[in-house]
Amino acid sequence: MSTSKRIPVAGLVVVAAATLAACAVQPPAVKPPALGTAVSAEEVARWDISIPPSGAGLPKGSGTARLGLQVYEQKCLACHGAKGAGKPADALVGGIGSLATAKPVRTVGSYWPYATTLFDYVRRAMPIANPLSLTNDEVYAVSAYILYVNGIVAEDATMTATTLPQVKMPNRDGFISDWPARKR
Amino acid sequence: MDRNDRTKRTPMGRSVSEPRGTIGRRTFLARSAGIAGAAVAGVAASAGLAPGANAQGLAGQPWERVYGAAFTGYGQPSRFELPVVRHLLRPYGDLAPGSGAALTPIESLEGIITPSSLHNIRNHSGTPDIDPKQHQLLLHGLVARPLTFSMESLWRYPMTTRTYFIECSGNSLRALLPKPVQLPAGAIHGNISCSEWTGVPLRMLLEEAGLQPQAKWLLAEGADSAHMSRSIPVEKALDDALVALYQNGERLRPEQGYPVRLLLPGWEGNTSVKWLRRLKATEGPTHTKDETSKYTDPLPDGRALQFTFEMGVKSVIARPSSTMTLPRPGFYEISGIAWSGAGRIRRVEVSTNGGATWVDAALTGEERAKCLVRFRLPWEWTGQAAVLQSRATDEKGRVQPPRKELIAQFAPDMRFHNNSIVSWAVGADGSVKNVYI
């Protein structure tokens, strides 16, 4: 086969390939489906259990450490020990001032930056075998108790949607956000 | 015995009934080749044996002379592979048997895809038993239109398929213990797996709901009894986040988030929230328990890093590795896995002399970002003591750090993001031990 004959053939192949490629990369002009179902604010409220540091979304209700002790003894002590000392599960109390030492002790009292996280976590995940079972008053009360045994609030301090976010945790300023990511 | 209940296994994964000291070479070869039966048959044939020979003296194993098993609806591995199971890490014991982790037996696997049944698991309150007909995903907060999605509707969206690793940020926790533990590689470094994931780009659902400009974070929450939740920057949600529905071609396994999980490629495993039930667009992070009290990285000065999402560049030699024995000098293939949360792996170097010199290993899968890469290097073991190490470099130029260098940056009780170099010491007797260099 001569060179002069091969060139047009090769050219045709290129054209054909380009045409095919053009066809292949053209997506069909179809909008993505919109299959979500509108949901009412009331329904959203039944699902929305996350509580940010502002306290937005905290429910009505209240509790003190005195009442919280009863909740704690019934629902928490078996795993978290007397006065939150821990064992068999995590300690909830102690370690304040230890974080920069050779033996840091990280508990709700020493490490957690926000009291709202305590309410959020107890309500969503505890007691471990029966989460979402405590009343709002019980969650406020047991939160008050954990804060009290850590020496962060007074025994008669009432935790509510207003007062809980105002609790200043000892390690409130102990975190450095790594987002947006640092250069490493 | 139920496969999944085999929590105890001998270091090399052999069955408990096998006498100690008889394994060495055979197990190593079987694990290297992944074909125990063929290896044994080959040995028999080359030795001139004629097991089950018929009247004409033709060779043929017993299973060649009987009709095989009938079809099964869902396949299982060979009974000879039953010892290959996940390594369970249950910090609360029977108090909370579903809280902790199940680590992939990387010392027994090859290639870059982890079988779904051996995928690593990090569960905070066990695996929920979710009926997909009842399960809903709620998308709300700073959006124009709060929406719920049924599984029936999610299954109808256009899908994307990608291969990504998932590494728990607590992987290699046991390599932070003061003294090196003598456990199989997977029991130390196996909180890493890699699968093909198929699902709906999260961006598509966010666009449908009309994400508002002031939304900078998404609170993602699971339908497990911990309601495990993490705050996710919107940038990631709009980038490569998937609402994953399928793993390795089939719908997600319950342990991997059935029927729907978030998948944030390259990021801390727990941000890929399983059993996804809710996404709430917010201005700031929610500061959940698992992004404050846990999954934060304490510094020596008492402060701690928070929201370190990306997993570092890392590699580990899977074979030979801790608790194995090399029966005699000769050829061994050094084989391992490497990955980076920042993108592709560019290079894996291997040292057989404790880091004095390094050689580039051959790579498989390095064209994929945020995916496991298999590295291999042929090695002639002379019978002298050796220390095997691997060191990965990613496309951003980041290099896996030495152990001492990494731990010096953090408080003594650091637990997460240990991507430091792993060292296996081979003794003159062929034993392989976990060591710190």
- CATH number of domain containing B206: 3.90.420.10
Q: Taking CB atoms and an 8 Å cutoff, what residues of chain B touch A28?
A: none
List the single best residue of A112, A175, A182 to mutate versus B (max B Cβ within 10 A).
A175
Is residue B17 pLDDT above 80, yes or no?
no
Residues B283 and B151 in one domain: yes
In tens, the pLDDT along B82-121 reads 999 999 999 999 999 999 999 999 999 999 999 999 999 9
Q: How far apart are CA A131 and CA A146, in angstroms?
A: 18
Residue B58 domain-assigned (yes or no): yes
CA distance A39 to chain B (A): 6
Position A34 scores a pLDDT of 96
Higher-confidence residue: B177 or B43? B177
B94 falls within a domain = no
Q: What is the pLDDT of residues A85-138, one digit of tens each?
A: 999 999 999 999 999 999 999 999 999 999 999 999 999 999 999 999 999 999
- pLDDT band at A177; cut points 50, 70, 90: very high
pLDDT of residue B41: 43
Looking at the fold, whether B293 and B384 belong to one and the same domain comes out as: no
Range of the structural domain that residue B59 is part of: 1-85
Bridge partner residues of A2 (DSSP): none
Q: Which residues of B touch A102 (CB under 8 A)?
A: 412
Complex ipTM more than 0.90, yes or no: no
The residue in chain B having the minimum alpha-carbon distance to the alpha carbon of residue A113 is: B292
* Segments making up each domain of chain A, as ranges: 62-166
Contact between B305 and B292 under an 8 Å Cβ cutoff? The reply is no
pLDDT in tens, A43-84: 999 999 999 999 999 999 999 999 999 999 999 999 999 999
Answer for the pair B421, B188: CB distance below 8 angstroms, yes or no.
no
For B155, the closest chain A residue by CA position comes to A35
pLDDT over 90 percentage in chain B: 87
Best interface-test mutation with B: which of A48, A107, A130 has the largest number of B CBs within 10 A?
A48
**E strand or H helix that includes residue B407:** helix B403-407
Task: Give the 3-state secondary structure of residue B43.
Answer: helix
Q: Which one of B270, B305, B340 terminates a domain? A: B305
**Record: contact B280-A131, CB cut-off 8 A:** no
Nearest to B413 by CA among B291, B312, B292, B296: B296
- State how many domains chain B has: 3
CATH superfamily, domain at A62-166: Cytochrome c-like domain (1.10.760.10)
B43, part of any domain? yes
pLDDT of residue B399: 98
Q: Are residues B207 and B279 in the same domain?
A: yes
Residue B45 has pLDDT above 60, yes or no: no
A51: closest CA of chain B, how far (Å): 7
| Last residue within a domain, chosen from B85, B104, B119 | B85
Domain membership of residue B166 (yes or no) is yes
**Domain with B387 in it: what CATH number?**
2.60.40.650
Q: Once rounded to an integer, what is the mean pLDDT over residues A9-26?
A: 50
Residues of A in contact with B301 (CB under 8 A): 100
B326-355 pLDDT, tens digit each: 999 999 999 999 999 999 999 999 999 999
Is residue B204 domain-resident?
yes
* Facing residue for A52 by CB, picked from B99, B284, B299: B284
Which pLDDT score, from 0 to 100, does residue B52 have? 52
Mutate to test the interface with A, among B137, B286, B291, B299 (most CBs of A within 10 A): B286
Q: Which has the minimum average pLDDT: A23-32, A171-180, B153-162, B289-298?
A: A23-32
pLDDT level of residue A26 (50, 70, 90 thresholds) = confident
pLDDT at residue number B56: 81
Task: State the pLDDT at residue B311.
Answer: 98
Tell me the pLDDT band of A23, cut-offs 50, 70 and 90.
low
pLDDT at B51: 54
Average pLDDT over chain B reads: 90
Within 10 angstroms of residue B271's Cβ, the number of other Cβ atoms is: 23
Residues comprising chain A, all counted: 184
pLDDT above 90 for A41: yes
Co-location of B79 and B58 in the same domain: yes
Q: Do both B230 and B371 map to the same domain?
A: no
pTM (two decimals)? 0.88
Same domain as B392, residue B286: no
Q: Report the residue from B227, B297, B398 with minimal CB separation from A49.
A: B227
Q: Are residues B35 and B163 in the same domain?
A: no
Q: What is the pLDDT of residue A8?
A: 46
- Residue B128, number of CB atoms within 10 A of its CB: 19
Count of Cβ atoms closer than 10 Å to residue B383 Cβ: 13
Within a domain: residue B90?
Answer: no
**B227–A124: do the CB atoms touch at under 8 Å?**
yes
Q: With a cut of 50, say whether residue A1 has pLDDT above it.
A: no
Q: CA-to-CA distance for A169 and B286, rounded, in angstroms?
A: 16
Residues of B in contact with A112 (CB under 8 A): 289, 292-293
Q: Which residues of B touch A32 (CB under 8 A)?
A: 157-158, 204, 207-208
pLDDT tier, B16 (very low <50, low <70, confident <90, very high otherwise): very low
Q: Above pLDDT 70, what percent of chain B?
A: 88
Among the partner-chain residues A43, A88, A180, the one whose CB lies closest to the CB of B95 is A88
Q: Tell whether B101 is covered by a domain.
A: no
Averaged pLDDT for residues B288-297: 98
pLDDT tens digit string along B365-388?
999 999 999 999 999 999 999 999
Confidence of residue B39 (pLDDT cuts 50, 70, 90): very low
Residue at B108 is within a domain: no
In chain B, residues with a C-beta closer than 8 Å to the C-beta of A174 are 302-304
Please determine, for residue B20, whether its predicted confidence score (pLDDT) is greater than 60. no
Domain endpoint, select from B305, B336, B354? B305
pLDDT band at B65 (very low <50, low <70, confident <90, very high): very high
Cβ contact A39–B138 (<8 Å) = yes
Residues in chain A closer than 8 A to B149 (CB atoms): 35-37
